[in-house]
Structure 1
Amino acid sequence: MEVDHGLLKKYWLGQCSPEERQRVEAWIASGTPPDRDQALRTVQNEATMKSVLWQRITQQSQLDDAPAPNIKSPFYKQTLIKVAASIIFLMGIGSYLWTHQDLFTPQKDSVPYKTVTVAKGKQMQVILSDGSKVYLHAGSTLQYPVHFSKEQRNVILQGEGFFDIQQNPAQPFQVEAGEIQIRVLGTQFNVNSRKPGKEVVTVETGKVQVSAIGATDTLTLSAGMQGQHIAGSLQEKKVNSQHYSGWKNGQLRFDHIPLAEVALELERWYDTDVKITDAALANTKVRAHFKNATLKEVVHDIAFALHIQYKIKNKEVLFIK
């Protein structure tokens, strides 16, 4: 009986048809011999998987806790039995996942992983064992194996990074970033996963495949295309890719975004604290582009464009309406 990644994901998300659910439950009940370990492996992180599973258990528990109707019919008893059985089964699966949690962490048991975190105000280039390069933006973290396995190349990104991947069709490269997964053979692309559930992938050269937790479709993006994960679905559009990867060359770009979001980027970029005195001002849209600019130059130009005042003292910036 074959059960692949797609079917397992549908099961955890409660999207299986009755027939598919029966297949998965029969498969799990039959055990997990070594040749099935690979089928279970995924870059989906353990915390997310457990959260989804717990939500399903909670939903079933809420059904069980609902006030009982006055009519005690055989149908009602059968419903209670089915709900109880579902809860017991899900708890059993939770126990199984806890026992086999290593199967849901890419390569970490077989290959040592290294973690690098970039401080605010800094950027970093990481060269992987296959020669691929990852440029990390300020405040970002990358987890990667010291040496890749022969079958796959998996890394985990939190924050923002630009990937320049060496081509090797026999050894696919995969990136887990928030709730999305990117699969590539050889390409250059930017990933921004700073906002959970709103991840963005922008391709500069080559092609990538993007999938996401809760999304039924998969995007194939080529150069100049951008994929966005929004409200559980994947959307694509044409963009100027260099607008999204220019940060690694000292370019700071704001394309009609709220000043509150600009403040967060300035904090990461210059390792400073930015405060806004007025809620309405925080929602004011900013459109600006800078290259290798100082904090004072950026703040001055933004304030001038918005007709507002500002103060800079030590490592703190204050925008005043």
Structure 2
Amino acid sequence: MPQKKDSDSNSKDIKLTWRQLLFHFVLLCLCVLLGVFSWYLSRPQSIRLHETGMHEYLTVSLTPEIEVSLDHGSSCAVTDYEPLRIELFRGNAYFNIKKKQADDFRVKVGEAFIEDLGTRFSVRMRKDGNHIVSVGQGQIKVHVADGEYLISALEQANFNNFKISKHRMISANEVAPWDSQQIVP
């Protein structure tokens, strides 16, 4: 049978004072609060991916006021958070905004951003990085590394991540020639 050690009989009971108990309780509550807060901040974004195959066309209503028509071989991602964010990965897209939104949405094409100012416009992505934006009605603002450019109705411009080029006037049929449902102003 093991012998008792002297240290076992001399051990003291641990007594917590109210201050120590309150301190530990506050510390525990703070840890729980930080855990809930970090979970709330790190919730994943809801992203919808829309794609079309060869010889397919797709029109999607993102909100009651915003429709996107995708040409064949196109894909884009849409976030569900406000303000609406759209990223075009490949192909052509035609955006039809029926009325001005309180929180404007942006379209990301490569490293450039297109900001909607209440309009109808199309974006054509090219593999060489030189994309085309055409405005059917209203205005858009294109943000590239070189600065911001305003493009108005019945205008078209080529752009890449750095600059705008070939800013020109077009006819209404050239805005989205592949989209038969486009509304001509």
* Deviations, residues 159-217 of structure 1 (Å, cap 9, x unaligned): 211000243353011101123210013110010113352011100000000012xx322
Q: Given the alignment of the two structures, is residue 240 of structure 1 paired with residue 174 of structure 2, yes or no?
A: no
The number of residue pairs the alignment matches comes to: 138
TM-score (norm 2): 0.67
Aligned to 1:242, what secondary structure does the other structure show? Answer: helix
CA distance in structure 2 between the aligned counterparts of 1:109 and 1:176, rounded to whole angstroms: 22
For the aligned residue pairs, the C-alpha RMSD in angstroms reads: 2.2
Structure 1: gaps of 5 or more residues: 1-107, 251-321
1:163 and 2:95 aligned: yes
Q: Which runs of 5+ in 2 are unaligned?
A: 1-41
Partner of residue 222 from structure 1, selected from 142, 152, 155: 152
Instruction: Tell me, in whole angstroms, the C-alpha distance in 1 between the residues paired with 2:112 and 2:161.
Output: 12
152-161 or 133-142: bigger deviation: 152-161
Shift of 1:230: 5.0
Contact between 1:161 and 1:191, CA under 8 Å: does it hold in 2?
A: yes
Residue 174 of structure 2 aligns with an amino acid whose one-letter code is H
Q: Is the 8 A contact 2:68 2:93 kept in 1?
A: yes
* Cα pair 1:165 1:185 within 8 Å, conserved: no
Aligned-residue offset at 1:129:
2.6
Residue 58 of structure 2 corresponds to 124
Instruction: Quote the Cα distance in structure 1 between the aligned partners of 2:160 and 2:86.
Output: 23
The residue correspondences of 1:149-228 to structure 2 (distance < 5 A) are 149=82, 152-158=83-89, 159-212=91-144, 215-228=145-158
Change in 2 beyond 3 A, CA 1:209/1:227: same
Tell me how far apart the structure 2 counterparts of residues 217 and 126 of structure 1 sit (CA, whole Å): 31
Higher strand share: 2
In structure 2, relative to structure 1, the CA distance for the partners of 1:211 and 1:134 (3 Å cut) is same
Alignment of 1:289-304 (within 5 A): none
Q: Partner of 2:178: helix, strand, or coil?
A: helix
> Which 4+ residue blocks in structure 1 deviate beyond 4 angstroms?
none
**Take 1:144 and 1:208, find their aligned partners in 2: how far apart are those partners?**
19
Normalising by structure 1, what TM-score?
0.40
TM-superposed deviation, 1:218: 1.4
Equivalence for 1:138: 72
Q: Partner of 2:102: helix, strand, or coil?
A: coil
2:110–2:161 CA contact under 8 A, matched in 1: no
Percent identity (aligned)? 24
* Offset from partner CA, 1:42-90 (integer Å, 9 cap, x none): xxxxxxxxxxxxxxxxxxxxxxxxxxxxxxxxxxxxxxxxxxxxxxxxx
Q: CA deviation at 1:130?
A: 4.2
* Whole-angstrom CA distance in 2 between matches of 1:172 and 1:222: 17
The structure-2 alpha-carbon separation of the partners of 1:234 and 1:224, relative to structure 1 and needing over 3 Å to count, comes to: same
The aligned residue for residue 180 of structure 2 is 249
| Higher relative contact order, chain-length normalized (CA < 8 Å, sep 6+) | 2
Q: Which residue does the alignment assign to 2:26? A: none
Question: Which amino acid is 1:199 matched to?
Answer: H
